[in-house]
Amino acid sequence: MTKHSKLLSLAACLSTAFAASAAMAADAPAAAQSKVDLPRTLEGYVAQDKAFWDYLKANHPYFKYLKEGRVVGKFTMSDRNEEWVEFGGGDKYAQKTGRHTAVTYRLPYESFLDLPNNFVGPKKCGECHPSQYEKWERSRHNKIVRFPEELTEVGGDMKKPLYNSKASVLPEGIEADDVFVIMGTPRTKYGFVDKWLVRGTYHVEDGNLGKGTGKIVAGGNQFSRNWAEHLTPEVVKKINAWDPTFPTKLEDFGAQSSNVWGFNSYGASNRTQAMFQPGSSYCEICHTWKFDFKSQDELFAALGDSKKLRSHVVAKGVSCEECHGAGAHLYGARGAGMPSDCERCHQRFVYNENDAKNNFKTPFNSYFKSFCPACGTEGSQSHYTKHYQKGMRCTTCHDPHEVTSNDWASHYTVPNLKKECQDCHTTAAEFFAQGGTHSRNSCTSCHMPMLGSCENFASIQRPDLAGFDNVRKSHIWRILVDPEKKSINPPEGATDRKLSSPKGWHLTKDDGRPYLDLMWTCGRTAFADKNQVDALGCHSPIQSKFPEPLRFKDQKTIYNKVVAWQTPVKEGYAKITADLLTISDMLEVSKISNADKAQVQVYAEQARTIAAKIKDDGSWGVHAPKYAKQLVQEGQVFTEQALAILNQKPATAKK
């Protein structure tokens, strides 16, 4: 048989084999084939949630309580369509563009409703990636979703009063056996997901959820460390003396209040309304969990039984498969690489019509829950900055496996950074090292103040006063030196700034980029900001331990101090650059000796180097007022010496 004949024979055999394989696939039962066309549409994700909703309406105790008239407050049904399609201006964006978009909440790579579950869990990944596993295990990403018994900071006691308050991890009428997991860490808050995988936006009065007794009440559902430890009855009176609108009594906190100081109403308004929200439409987007269920029947059979649910968990928190896909490369490369990344949870946008009108290139803004940027908006804050436009991304600075460098249980966040500000901004670092008292701080103390909130707490957020619910680092960096302009503003057309409604508040853009105002950089109140705590409260009127004149209560005061530093530096720089132009022009026509010309050029180069350093630093004296002022004075001496040589009269020749 010739080589050509062999190839023809092989082709015939392969053709027969492929035909047989296709016939077998056609005869295979439907259950063995994919039930979902991938990639599914956004609407396809919404449709996937229907069976779970049907189960909950038939089995979740809320509906029994409701039927019996034992519910206080109106509960709205919050599903994937609301969260993923309509939320964040998605409906308005669709009207404008003709396409549906998940503007605010990004889809998880795979949901626990994708059955069979193909997750393998982080321990499996750790078999081959021990270094990455150890870093991840120490970080808050691993700890943000835990079983009740895993809360070592309270010894597993969900009813233990915390931080000298009466508030505990779980609210009234909810016990450890009633919940699937606890979400949160000692850094900010604790919330719960009940054993039907529904977000805990409620508490139970005069009874117990597991026993079906008492009344389900909207709100009063979440522990807040900020309220329990810092915004105590004594501290809020101090704030009220500065801002008379600030609440001092529990009932004055309005919708965010509860019946216990330290508990608040999140995803709810106290006793009036709440969201009935399955974890599939919200929680699992970021604070997620992974099961090993093989079928819908198996999943539904475990709902309502916390121990059975937990026995099927293979991962929880932000683990390997959140970014690398279910099973990662262990399932034939179906999830190899990075099908998701930091931006899924940390780039929450809203479509802003006014921003779109002002600049079609920047139509999105950061998502606000109230008057301050919400949690998870770090990426959207940075999106229009020069850093982002120059190619910087989260992993430029952050190690994604070790996002928490310090003890995860600490009140403060100290991330493990691959790159520090001074690695790129070397001149600014040189100036800052000469900055006196401020040099003991870090670049992030001023350029990354805590600006964002984890909550929807309009009653305690005062953006004009830079407080009092700030637990998330800003990622804007640029400080705008202005006596009045504010980073955060109400919607266009608002007649005042009285915080009557949180709707429409946004980060304001200057030349298409957001900025930090001086009150946020110098005068903020942020109890969870380690930089600020280490610096004796900086210049906060509430936190500061400095004398009264150094506690800044308004932006104009800060502006005047900054301008006092900048003015001599800016004026000196302007004088140096003007003199250098004069020196350059005079050198072209001067009749002085070559030796004198050389000296002039040496002086000019020294002055030019100083001017370049001043400009490259960019703070115009703020990083180091005395040092910068001294430098420009030296630069002026150099230009004055050069001009003196150029202006000398030529020597008269002797006869």
What is the DSSP track for 224-280? Answer: EHIIIIIS-HHHHHHHHHH-TTS--SGGGGGGG--SSBTEE-SSEETTTEEEE-BGG
Judge whether 16 lies within some domain. Answer: no
Cβ atoms within 10 A of the Cβ of 546, count? Answer: 15
Residues 484 and 608 occupy one common structural domain: no
Residues 149 and 216 occupy one common structural domain: yes
Q: What phi and psi values does residue 407 have, to the nearest 5 degrees?
A: -60, 125
Q: What count of Cα atoms within 13 Å lies in the side-chain half-sphere of residue 259? A: 11
Judge whether 100 lies within some domain. Answer: no
Is 383 marked as a binding-site residue? Answer: no
Q: Give the C-alpha separation, 470 to 490, whole Å.
A: 18
Contact yes or no for 397/418 (Cβ under 8 A): yes
Q: What count of Cα atoms within 13 Å lies in the side-chain half-sphere of residue 212? A: 11
The full length of the chain comes to: 655
The reported pLDDT for the residue numbered 330 is 74
Is 4 marked as a binding-site residue? Answer: no
Residues 332 and 419 occupy one common structural domain: no
Is 372 marked as a binding-site residue? Answer: no
pLDDT digits (tens, 9 = 90+) for 196-232: 999 999 999 999 999 999 999 999 999 999 999 999 9
The reported pLDDT for the residue numbered 242 is 96
Q: Give the C-alpha separation, 299 to 39, whole Å.
A: 24
The reported pLDDT for the residue numbered 36 is 55
Judge whether 342 lies within some domain. Answer: no
Is 506 marked as a binding-site residue? Answer: no
The parent domain of residue 300 ranges over: 111-144+287-336
Cβ atoms within 10 A of the Cβ of 208, count? Answer: 15
Q: How many domains does the chain have?
A: 4
Cβ partners under 8 Å of residue 476, min gap 6: 381, 382, 385, 451, 487, 507, 514, 515, 516
Residues 179 and 255 occupy one common structural domain: yes
Residues 132 and 151 occupy one common structural domain: no
Last residue of a domain, one of 266, 285, 304: 285
The reported pLDDT for the residue numbered 325 is 81
Judge whether 227 lies within some domain. Answer: yes
Last residue of a domain, one of 507, 522, 553: 553
Task: Give long-range contacts, CB 8 A cutoff, 24+ apart: 137-140.
Answer: 138/402, 138/404, 138/408, 139/401, 139/402, 139/403, 139/404, 139/408, 140/185, 140/187, 140/403, 140/404, 140/408, 140/413
Residues 433 and 316 occupy one common structural domain: no
Is 13 marked as a binding-site residue? Answer: no
Residues 278 and 297 occupy one common structural domain: no
Residues 403 and 531 occupy one common structural domain: yes
CATH number of the domain at 582, please.
1.20.140.10
Residue 14 CA to chain centroid, in angstroms? 55
The reported pLDDT for the residue numbered 119 is 87
Which one-letter amino acid corresponds to residue 592? Answer: I
Residues 377 and 496 occupy one common structural domain: yes
Residues 215 and 257 occupy one common structural domain: yes
Is 230 marked as a binding-site residue? Answer: no
Judge whether 32 lies within some domain. Answer: no
Judge whether 4 lies within some domain. Answer: no
Q: What phi and psi values does residue 57 have, to the nearest 5 degrees?
A: -65, -25
Best CA proximity match to 443, nearest among 457, 434, 432, 435: 432
Confidence (pTM): 0.89
Instruction: Give the burial class of 651: count Cβ atoms within 10 A of its Cβ; 0-12 exposed, 13-18 middle, 19 or more buried.
Output: exposed
Which one-letter amino acid corresponds to residue 485? Answer: K
Q: Give the C-alpha separation, 403 to 451, whole Å.
A: 19
Residue 287 CA to chain centroid, in angstroms? 14
The reported pLDDT for the residue numbered 530 is 94
pLDDT digits (tens, 9 = 90+) for 256-294: 999 999 999 999 999 999 999 999 999 999 999 999 999
Question: Which parts of the chain register pLDDT below 50?
Answer: 1-34, 333, 651-655
Last residue of a domain, one of 527, 553, 579: 553
Question: Max Cα separation, the chain?
Answer: 122
Judge whether 580 lies within some domain. Answer: yes
Q: What stretch of H or E contains 314?
A: strand 313-316
Judge whether 536 lies within some domain. Answer: yes
Residues 411 and 484 occupy one common structural domain: yes
Residues 384 and 275 occupy one common structural domain: no
